Amino acid sequence: MKTLWLSLAFALVTGCAAVRTDVSQEPTAPDTQAEALSPSVARVAKALDLAPATPNRPQLAKTANLSLEVTDVANSAQQAIGWARQAGGEVLNLEDNGVLGEVRRLTLEVQVPATQLEPVLGQLAALGTLESRQITAEDVGSQLVDLGARLRNLRKSETLLLKIMERAGSVGDVLKVTQELSQVREQIEQLSAQQVNLQNRVSYSRIRLNLISPTAETPGLSVPERLGATWQQATTTLGNVTLGLVQVFLWLLVFSPYFLVPGLILWLVRRRSPQRPAPPPSQS
């Protein structure tokens, strides 16, 4: 145990000495990226080997919602899918709600490269009459910077723990360092997944397309057509009733022994039992 604590203390002292050495050896010419920062902040950033924050363009995750009234929902959906794939995108979700009342609705969700968002929206708008259009953008730049800094620190901790594990002597020290290393690597995996997700949201924009198509009114049936439909319904009902009666007869036939045996026993008992003579009529 003493070996583990001595190793941790040695690593911390060594890290602090390295930071002081880097700070004392500040170059005379300021770095171009740190000129906009205060001297102290620039020195700390350079000592920790971190890139200071620069006013880069925002990292925007865009989402578009588009509602159109079209004449053919299925055909319009196929065209929209084709345009999205031609732009380098892919379909994420498709939900066909069918006919609700007098309107058919279909919802399509695709993702396309962020640079192709406006061209694809222009193509989709030509499918029909525009009902509504909405584009939202979320700046995730600060989240990406925070995740990057945390990942760098965790990877440095991982390297430090690996060095301590090489110096640990007892089995208990090795197990404790291994547990700490496992937790650090788990955090690295989680933060890496979040970072990749945010980067994908920036690189690809999502489009939610709502297609609406009013259904045409069904013309009324003529008299011969109504009579034919009625005859078909009647014959179908007759067939169903006949089939039901046959099924009931088959059920009774299968279960007939359960009714015949008790009836036969009851008839035999009544036959063998002596019949009592009728009482003579009373004389008044």
122-158 pLDDT, tens digit each: 999 999 999 999 999 999 988 999 999 999 999 999 9
Helix-strand-coil split of the chain, %, nearest 5 = 60, 20, 20
Which of 9-23, 66-80, 106-120, 266-280 has the weakest average pLDDT?
Answer: 9-23
CA 20 to chain centre: 49
**CB-CB contact of 177 with 161 (8 Å):** yes
pLDDT tier at 10, thresholds 50, 70, 90: very low
CA 68 to chain centre: 25
pLDDT at 34 over 90: no
pLDDT at 112 over 90: yes
pLDDT tier at 203, thresholds 50, 70, 90: very high
Q: Which residue has the higher pLDDT, 219 or 253?
A: 253
pLDDT at 227: 84
**Closest by CA position to 97, among listed 216, 218, 211, 217:** 211
Distance CA 80, CA 209 (A): 9
pLDDT at 210: 93
What share of the chain in percent tops pLDDT 70?
73
Question: Within 13 Å of residue 157, how many CA atoms lie on the same side as its CB?
Answer: 17
pTM over 0.85: no
pLDDT tens-digit profile of 192-201?
Answer: 999 999 999 9
Distance CA 168, CA 2 (A): 10
Distance CA 137, CA 87 (A): 20
Which of 49-63, 66-80, 216-230 has the weakest average pLDDT?
Answer: 49-63
Collapsed DSSP state (helix, strand, coil) of residue 122:
helix
Q: How far apart are the first and last CA of the chain?
A: 125
CA 37 to chain centre: 43
Packing angle of the helix pair 141-167, 171-203 (nearest 10 deg): 160
pLDDT at 56: 65
**Closest by CA position to 193, among listed 147, 238, 257, 256:** 147
pLDDT at 266: 82
pLDDT at 2 over 50: no
pLDDT at 124: 92
How many C-beta atoms lie closer than 10 Å to residue 83's C-beta? 20
Which of 23-32, 241-250, 264-273 has the weakest average pLDDT?
Answer: 23-32
**CB-CB contact of 95 with 106 (8 Å):** yes
